[in-house]
C-alpha cells in the first residue's frame, strides 16, 4: 500500500503537468494496491479519524479545504465500508481534480502582454497586494469581452461545472417552489438544472452559446437548448419563469441592461425572474456574502456603479470570466429599471428553507426573485410552497 509520502509525491507530479494517461496509471496502481485482505481496510495514512483523513485527502488532490458536503458524503461512504484508497481514487478522478490538472497545462494568450498599461497593482484592505484590470472607460470592457471570446477563455478546463451535482439539484428544487409551468434558463451550459426541473415535471428549456457545453447535455435535454446569444436567437415565449445562475455577471456591462430587458420581455405578466449573481457588501434580505477587499470597490458601491477594478488571474483574464462585479443595490436597480418588482417575501421564504443547505456554496445565497406584477395570492401560494418543501428529503 502506498504511504503518505508516496501519494503526496505522485499528486505533486500530477500538478506539475503529467498527462491524463499518467494520471490514470497512477490511479490504477492505487486501485491494485488497495485490494486484498487487511490492506483494504487499513488506514491509507496514519490518521486517527475519517474526518482527518478526508481533510488531508482534499488538500492533496484538490488543493483546497474539504467542504461540509464533501465531508458528509465521503464520510458516509467510509462508514459504509469504502476503503480510504478508493476515496482517494474518486477524488483524484473527480471532475474538479481532472480540470485542475488540465487547467495548469492549458495554453492561453496572456492579456497582460497585449496591454500591460491596463493592469495595476493595488493594496487591499487586508494589507496585501492584488493585480487588477483597470477599466477606465466603457471601451475597456469591450476589449476584455473580445479577448475572452477570441482566445477561448471559456474552453479552459474548470471554468464551467457541467455535471449534475447536489448544487444543481438544490437549485432545481428552489426554482420548483415558484410553481412554474414553463421555464427558460439563460446560460444553461449542459442543462444540469433543466434536467432537475424535468424530473419535477416542469417544462424547461435553455439558451446557451457554447456548442461544447450543449454536447455534454443529456439526450432528453439537448433538444431543449437553443444555441446562440439571448439577443439574437428565437427562444419562443410564454415563460412564467426565466432564470440565470451565475451568468449575468459574464455579460458586457455596456449591454447588460439590454439583456435584462430581453429577460423581462420573455417573462409573461405575473411571471417571475430568478437571478443568482455575485455581490459585495450588504443586502437588505440576504445580508453580506462577500466583503469588499479593494478600496475602490467601496467607492463604487457608494456610487452605485459596477466595479472598475477587476481582479484577474495570472494571464490577465477577470476571475471566472466575470465582467461585472457590483453591490446589491446596483444589481437590484438594474432589474427593476425594466419594470420588474423585487419580491423580498418570497426571497426570505426561500432563505428560511434553503440556507442550511447552501452553507456549502455561500455564493448561491446571493439571489433575487423579481416578478412582473405577480398577484398577492400568487405570492402567498409560493411562500406556502417554500415552507412545505424546505425539509424535502431530496435536499439531504
HEC per residue, 245-306: ECCHHHCCCCCHHHHHHHHHHHEEEEEEEEEECCEECEECCCEECECCCCHHHHHHHHCCCC
Q: CA-to-CA distance for 341 and 335, rounded, in angstroms?
A: 8
**DSSP three-state, residue 217:** coil
For residue 348, give the CATH number of its domain: 3.40.50.150
Whose grid coordinates read 487588477? 132
Whose grid coordinates read 497585449? 114
Would residue 116 count as lying in a domain? no
Element (H, E) at 163: none
Backbone torsions φ then ψ of 340, nearest 5 degrees? -80, 160
Where a domain ends, among 104, 128, 153? Answer: 104
Would residue 160 count as lying in a domain? no
100 in the same domain as 219: no
Is-contact 353 395, C-beta < 8 A? Answer: no
202 in the same domain as 339: yes
DSSP single-letter state for residue 312 = B
| pLDDT of the residue at 127 | 87
- Total domains present in the chain: 2
| pLDDT of the residue at 60 | 82
| pLDDT of the residue at 102 | 60
Where a domain ends, among 52, 77, 104? Answer: 104
pTM score, two decimals? 0.74
368 in the same domain as 229: yes
174 in the same domain as 81: no
Whose grid coordinates read 443595490? 329
Would residue 193 count as lying in a domain? yes
Range of the domain at 347: 166-395
Burial class (CB in 10 A: 0-12, 13-18, 19+), 178: buried
Helices 4-15 and 50-61, packing angle to 10 deg: 30
Would residue 241 count as lying in a domain? yes
186 in the same domain as 42: no
Is-contact 122 309, C-beta < 8 A? Answer: yes
216 in the same domain as 306: yes
Q: Could you tell me where the DSSP H helices lie in the chain? A: 4-15, 20-33, 37-41, 50-61, 68-79, 84-92, 95-105, 111-114, 138-150, 166-176, 192-199, 211-215, 256-266, 295-302, 328-336, 344-358, 376-389
Helices 50-61 and 84-92, packing angle to 10 deg: 30
Would residue 156 count as lying in a domain? no
**DSSP three-state, residue 355:** helix
Would residue 128 count as lying in a domain? no
| pLDDT of the residue at 137 | 96
Backbone torsions φ then ψ of 18, nearest 5 degrees? -65, 155
Residue closest to 28 by CA, chosen among 84, 89, 82: 89
Element (H, E) at 186: strand 182-186
Is-contact 324 306, C-beta < 8 A? Answer: yes
CA 267 to chain CA mean position, Å: 24
Backbone angle region of 258, left / alpha / beta, with phi > 0 → left and psi within -120 to 50 → alpha: alpha
Is-contact 69 166, C-beta < 8 A? Answer: yes
Where a domain ends, among 72, 104, 136? Answer: 104
Q: CA-to-CA distance for 135 and 145, rounded, in angstroms?
A: 12
Instruction: Give the DSSP per-residue string, 218-249.
Output: -TTTGGGEEES-TTTS---S-EEEEEEES-GG
Would residue 321 count as lying in a domain? yes
64 in the same domain as 192: no
Would residue 240 count as lying in a domain? yes
99 in the same domain as 179: no
Strands 129-134 and 309-311: antiparallel
| pLDDT of the residue at 82 | 85
pLDDT digits (tens, 9 = 90+) for 232-268: 999 998 899 999 999 999 999 999 999 999 999 999 9
- The ranges of the chain with pLDDT < 50 are 1-24, 26-45, 393-396
Q: CA-to-CA distance for 90 and 136, rounded, in angstroms?
A: 46
Amino acid at each position: 500500500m502506498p504511504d503518505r509520502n508516496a501519494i503526496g509525491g505522485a499528486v505533486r507530479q500530477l500538478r506539475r503537468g503529467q498527462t491524463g494517461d499518467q494520471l490514470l496509471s497512477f490511479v490504477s496502481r492505487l486501485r491494485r494496491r488497495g485490494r486484498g485482505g487487511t490492506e483494504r481496510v487499513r488506514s491509507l495514512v496514519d490518521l486517527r479519524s475519517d474526518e482527518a483523513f478526508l481533510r488531508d485527502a482534499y488538500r492533496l488532490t484538490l488543493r483546497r479545504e474539504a467542504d461540509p458536503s464533501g465531508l458528509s458524503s465521503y464520510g458516509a461512504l467510509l462508514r459504509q465500508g469504502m476503503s480510504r484508497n478508493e476515496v482517494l481514487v474518486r477524488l483524484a478522478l473527480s471532475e474538479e481534480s481532472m480540470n485542475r490538472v488540465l487547467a495548469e497545462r492549458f495554453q492561453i494568450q496572456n492579456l497582460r502582454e497585449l496591454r500591460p498599461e491596463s493592469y495595476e497593482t493595488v493594496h487591499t484592505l487586508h494589507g496585501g497586494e492584488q493585480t487588477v484590470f483597470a477599466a477606465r472607460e466603457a471601451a475597456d470592457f469591450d476589449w476584455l469581452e473580445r479577448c475572452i471570446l477570441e482566445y477561448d477563455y471559456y474552453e479552459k478546463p474548470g471554468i464551467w461545472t457541467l455535471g449534475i451535482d447536489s448544487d444543481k439539484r438544490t437549485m432545481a428544487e428552489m426554482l420548483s417552489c415558484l410553481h412554474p409551468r414553463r421555464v427558460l434558463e439563460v446560460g444553461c451550459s449542459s442543462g444540469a438544472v433543466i434536467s432537475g426541473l424535468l424530473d419535477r415535471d416542469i417544462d424547461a428549456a435553455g439558451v446557451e452559446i457554447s456548442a461544447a457545453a450543449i454536447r455534454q447535455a443529456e439526450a432528453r435535454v439537448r433538444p431543449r437548448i437553443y444555441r446562440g446569444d439571448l439577443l439574437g436567437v428565437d427562444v419562443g415565449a410564454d415563460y412564467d419563469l426565466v432564470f440565470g445562475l451565475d451568468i449575468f455577471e459574464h455579460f458586457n456591462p455596456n449591454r447588460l441592461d439590454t439583456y435584462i430587458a430581453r429577460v423581462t420581455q420573455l417573462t409573461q405578466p405575473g411571471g417571475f425572474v430568478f437571478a443568482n449573481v455575485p455581490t459585495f457588501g450588504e443586502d437588505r434580505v440576504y445580508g453580506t456574502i462577500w466583503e469588499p477587499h479593494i478600496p475602490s470597490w467601496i467607492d463604487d458601491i457608494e456610487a452605485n456603479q459596477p466595479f472598475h477594478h477587476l481582479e484577474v488571474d495570472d494571464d490577465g483574464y477577470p476571475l471566472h470570466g466575470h465582467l461585472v462585479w457590483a453591490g446589491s443595490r446596483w444589481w437590484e436597480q438594474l432589474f427593476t429599471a425594466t419594470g420588474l418588482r423585487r419580491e423580498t417575501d418570497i426571497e426570505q421564504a426561500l432563505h428560511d428553507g434553503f440556507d442550511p443547505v447552501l452553507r456549502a456554496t455561500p455564493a448561491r445565497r446571493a439571489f433575487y426573485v423579481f416578478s412582473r406584477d405577480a398577484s398577492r395570492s400568487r405570492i402567498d401560494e409560493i411562500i406556502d410552497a417554500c415552507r412545505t418543501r424546505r425539509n424535502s428529503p431530496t435536499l439531504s
